[in-house]
Amino acid sequence: MFYREAGQFKTDYKSDSAVFPILQDRVGIAFMIFLALVVVPLYGWSSSSGEFFLNGIMIPFMIFALVTIGLNILMGYAGQLSLGTGAFTGVGAYACYKLITHFPELNLIVAVLMSGFFAAAVGIIFGLPSLRIKGLYLAVTTLAAQFFLEWLFIRWEWLYNYDPSGALIVPDITAFGIIIAGPSANAVVKYLVVTLIVIFMTWIASNVIRGRIGRSWMMIRDMDIAAELMGVRPLAAKLSAFAMSSFYCGVGGAMMVFFWLGAAEVESFDINHSFLFLFMVIIGGMGSLIGSFMGAAFIWVLPIIIKFLPATIGIEIYPSTVEHINLMIIGGLIVFFLAVEPNGLARLWQLAKEKLRVWPFPYA
Amino acid sequence: MELLHSIFIGPFADMFSDLSFLIQVLWEGFVQGTLYALIALGFVLIFKASGVFNFAQGIMVVFAVLALVGLYEAGVPAWLALILTIGIMGLLAIGIERVVLRPLVNQHDAILLMATIGLARFLSGAGQFIFGGENKAMITEELGLPTGSSEAEIFGGVVFFEHLDIAAVIIAGLLVAALAVFFSKTRIGRALRAVADDHQAALSVGISLNQIWAIVWFAAGIVALVTGIMWGARSDVSFALEIIALKALAVLIIGGFTSIPGAIIAGIIVGLVEKLFEIYWGSLLGGGVEAWFAYIVALIFLLFRPQGLFGEKIIERV
Amino acid sequence: MSAEQEILLDVKDISLSFGGVKAITDVSFNVRKGEVRAIIGPNGAGKTSMLNCINGFYHPQVGTISYKGEVRKAMRPYVAASQGIARTFQNVALFRGMTTLDNIMSGRTLRMKRGFFWQMFRHGPALAEEIEHRKRVEEIIDFLEIQAIRKTPVGRLPYGLQKRVELARALAMEPELLLLDEPMAGMNQEEKEDMSRFILDVNSEFGTTVTLIEHDMGVVMDLSDRVVVLDYGKKIADGTPEEVQNEQTVIDAYLGVPH
């Protein structure tokens, strides 16, 4: 009815290859950006629970979405399985911490983006074996990365400036004349910084994916032999995917520490986080940017709802029990999604849109 | 120069200056390796029969012992708890076949792998939900396992052999022998090997895939239970084992994904090498290298011999 | 087709074996510029292995392959692609997760030059390049009459169309030498006729040299200028369709003789 592409003619290839060729989609995305950049901060500013809403839900959601996009680039677009996402976010976090503590006058946003390059370099190193091995075998390589880096984060005390607690502790950091990170930073400011970075990097990712480089990743993913016979260099394609993916993970990790946690130890980058991001990709949908946001929202917000739901309907339940039920629900959902809709929420969304296009006369 | 010495000469000098200590280290590594081998064995059984890399094998180990100890704590006698736990593993196998494997038939192996990661999550939650998440002590004596240790004089020093470790190695050996007989001499064993070779051909001669899968997962469940008992008796029954069990992945790379002897030999190799490296070289790196050393060894194998020690060479076709 | 024509590809005495299995034994043949060359033979004769050698996926242990007069060394397949060799596959090897348009655009990969920086912003040179190649791809889409399925994921297409998209993808590379591995396998008569027409058009309009493997003798005899026949990895005949057809060894290979 209201979601129709009839009458929207494309007269050049530029508009035909736009991300959102349909007007309604463009309006929709503009609305989402408006929500994210105006409505959410206003609510966070004015409401009494706004602080928790931003710090506890929206900021981690945005950061997780970015890391999920990173993993999705590697897994969903380039088809390389990774179980080391947690450690790659850690590389970004520790790199950013070192940059900020060594060069205090460096702008934090610049430092966050720079730390992505460190993660990318580490990603390339651990991506090298992907040239000879695939699938499960590659999973072992990334596990090696995960456990080796976790170990390094503990043993290499220089990384956390020999702090006896072993933690990264974020001081108050000022940029552009306001405090944007640290204990006394305002949640709205932190949220806006994170959201702007995430929106910008999502836009970049969508550009790269639709171009030559993104296509070469998908060629490798779908049929690596044919891709090579058509002139794709597996080395360049796979390593560029590893680099870009790790870059996103690294930026996400740096933001996790500086804009969300405030203080972080190695546990924030452990293998359970690798699994968490993996689940976000699966549930959201492999090979979909919108799905990355959906998956992050689902996996992050669902446990929060489960945590507060029993209290609101008046049932007393131990926090640890909630944790266990959570594990069971998420685990069950993973199996369910893989069996019923391996392409995740993004695919469901797409199906809904296709249905909507012909609604209410599906046979007309 | 000093660094080179401490890498290439020092550790070996240490080894040969105290041979009885070396024997002790090797023995510990060997026992550890036996346990890795058992976990890897569970993986190989399932991988051979259904092509699934079962990420949940580690949590199955934890789940099995949790059930055992949980039942005992609830007042069930130890021997009955053991039998009931075997029953639970059987039900679990049937359940997994129904709910996870059947709907995912013919999916890409990466999808199946991720499904087992989901399964691992579920079992982890369920295990803690039912039996509680805190560490538990293993009911070693109640199960009639030996405790205490013997010492032996070797090369002028004293080497300790825990009776439990000896029992673990013997039981592991018996388990492997029993499985070998089962798979080579029985009708179900033959069917299983047929399924491992070619699913469709096996189906066409009337073998029920579903039945075979349930049986194999059950066998893996029993292997998990035995592994868990041994492991729990040596340390504690805890969820930390779930992560340690991932080392079986490294073991499988070295041994080859489909080879049972490969899994056993590679498991022992990993146990030995890891222990030696930790004791003699670990201090150079600040210790704790056990957490990742096995994976690095596996990586080196991947680069030079991707099919593992006993796997078949992979030839790519167009 | 005159015999003085330039030789594009020259295969000399190549042998290929996997472990103890000999796939190809001492085979020599050449492909002249602008001709349609068929490779035929019973199943397991080494035809696909031959194509794999030509585009660098396998490396023969013995013998040389020269392309455009230069002897080739062992190399990766993407080098062959950059020298202008494209191919289609026996079992459709499309990129199943992508649309028809993206599949064909993937054939332009080697001709797209803009680096990562411009790709990131998809404005200016990157966008201009993308659109320029899109124009070329649309010409191929028109040529093969697949406009209607432009935006359909290839996994949803029927087999015959998939084969056609695969041809389109190979054409998008603007190859000098096009290798077709059983382009008509599993097609009905009508689809075969369409495909034959496309192959002939490609050959005559673009001047592309075609080397094809095919089992349908009628098609082979109609399309090809010269035919080479393989059996058990050995060359048993080489010549025009008429010559080959009457060769006793060929008849024996297809019908079988008591050894």
**Cα–Cα distances in Å, from A176 out to A189, A258, B170?**
12, 16, 69
Tell me the pLDDT tens digit for each residue of C43-102: 888 888 999 899 888 888 888 899 888 888 777 888 888 889 999 998 888 998 899 999
Strands C62-67, C70-71: pairing kind: antiparallel
Of C18, C48, C89, the CB nearest to B315: C18
Contact B318 C48 (CB under 8 A): yes
- In this structure, the answer to whether residues C210 and C256 fall within a common structural domain is yes
What is the DSSP code string of C77-125? HHHHHHTTEEE--SS----TTSBHHHHHHHTTGGG----HHHHHHT-TH
DSSP one-letter code for B278:
I
* Mean predicted confidence (pLDDT) in A105-118: 93
- In this structure, the answer to whether residues C3 and C67 fall within a common structural domain is yes
Contact B100 A321 (CB under 8 A): no
Residue A333 included in any domain: yes
Distance from CA of B318 to the nearest CA of C (A): 8
Distance from CA of A3 to the nearest CA of B (A): 33
3-state secondary structure of C24: strand
Q: Distance between CA atoms of B218 and B28, rounded to whole angstroms?
A: 30
Residue A205's pLDDT band (cuts 50, 70, 90)? very high
* Mean predicted confidence (pLDDT) in A78-96: 93
**In chain C, how many domains are there?**
2
Residue A6 included in any domain: no
Chain C environment of B318 (Cβ under 8 Å): 48, 52, 57, 89-90, 93
- In this structure, the answer to whether residues C167 and C184 fall within a common structural domain is no
DSSP one-letter code for C57:
S
- In this structure, the answer to whether residues C98 and C137 fall within a common structural domain is yes
Q: Structural domain of residue C10, as residue ranges?
A: 1-84+176-259
Interface check A164 vs B, CB under 8 A: no
- What is the pTM for the complete model shown? 0.89
pLDDT mean across residues, chain A: 88
Q: Is residue A60 within a helix (H) or strand (E), and if so which, with residue range?
A: helix A59-72
Of A221, A228, A232, the CB nearest to C97: A221
- In this structure, the answer to whether residues C190 and C257 fall within a common structural domain is yes
pLDDT at C2: 47
- CATH number of the domain that residue A231 is part of: 1.10.3470
Tell me the pLDDT tens digit for each residue of C148-198: 998 889 988 998 899 999 999 999 999 999 999 999 888 888 889 999 999
Residue A200 included in any domain: yes
The two three-digit tokens of residue C135, written as one number: 């124009």
Residue among C62, C57, C68 at smallest CA distance from C10: C68
Residue B315's pLDDT band (cuts 50, 70, 90)? low
Contacts of A159 (CB under 8 A, 6+ apart): A94, A97, A98, A152, A153
pLDDT at C4: 56
Instruction: With a cut of 80, say whether residue B144 has pLDDT above it.
Output: no
Tell me the pLDDT tens digit for each residue of B257-307: 777 888 888 899 888 988 888 888 877 777 777 778 888 888 888 777 777
Cα-flanking dihedrals φ and ψ of residue C31, to 5°? Answer: -120, 125
pLDDT at A95: 95
* Mean predicted confidence (pLDDT) in C128-141: 91
pLDDT at A246: 96
Burial of A19 (0-12, 13-18, 19+ CB in 10 A): middle
Q: Structural domain of residue A43, as residue ranges?
A: 20-358
* Mean predicted confidence (pLDDT) in A293-320: 83
pLDDT at C91: 85
Interface check A340 vs B, CB under 8 A: yes
Chain B environment of C52 (Cβ under 8 Å): 318
**In chain A, how many domains are there?**
1
Distance from CA of A201 to the nearest CA of C (A): 10
**Cα–Cα distances in Å, from A345 out to A178, A288, A330, A336?**
38, 10, 14, 12
Contact C57 B318 (CB under 8 A): yes
Interface check C52 vs B, CB under 8 A: yes
Tell me the pLDDT tens digit for each residue of B81-94: 899 999 999 999 99
Residue among B218, B217, B292, B283 at smallest CA distance from B250: B292
Tell me the pLDDT tens digit for each residue of A17-56: 777 878 888 888 999 999 999 989 988 888 888 888 899 8
B2-304 folds as ABC transporter involved in vitamin B12 uptake, BtuC (1.10.3470)
3-state secondary structure of A263: strand
* Mean predicted confidence (pLDDT) in C135-154: 91
Domain boundary pick from C143, C174, C205: C174
- Give yes or no for a contact between B244 and B228, defined as CB atoms under 8 angstroms apart: no
Better-scored residue on pLDDT, A341 or C173: C173
pLDDT mean across residues, chain B: 83
- Give yes or no for a contact between A173 and A258, defined as CB atoms under 8 angstroms apart: yes
Cα-flanking dihedrals φ and ψ of residue B246, to 5°? Answer: -65, -20
DSSP one-letter code for A186:
-
- In this structure, the answer to whether residues C77 and C187 fall within a common structural domain is yes
Side-chain half-sphere CA neighbours of B5 within 13 A: 2
- In this structure, the answer to whether residues C75 and C183 fall within a common structural domain is yes
Distance from CA of A151 to the nearest CA of C (A): 34
* Reported ipTM exceeds the 0.90 cut: no
Angle formed at CA B132 by CA B127 and CA B134, multiple of 5 degrees: 115
Cα-flanking dihedrals φ and ψ of residue C30, to 5°? Answer: -135, 165
- In this structure, the answer to whether residues C15 and C77 fall within a common structural domain is yes
Residue among C116, C101, C109, C110 at smallest CA distance from A207: C116
pLDDT at C103: 93
- Give yes or no for a contact between A62 and A200, defined as CB atoms under 8 angstroms apart: no
- CATH number of the domain that residue C258 is part of: 3.40.50.300
Strands C85-87, C177-181: pairing kind: parallel
Amino acid at A202: T
Instruction: With a cut of 90, say whether residue B146 has pLDDT above it.
Output: no
Chain A environment of B257 (Cβ under 8 Å): 136
Q: Give percent helix, percent strand, percent coil of chain C, each to the nearest 5.
A: 40, 25, 35
Cα-flanking dihedrals φ and ψ of residue A310, to 5°? Answer: -60, -40
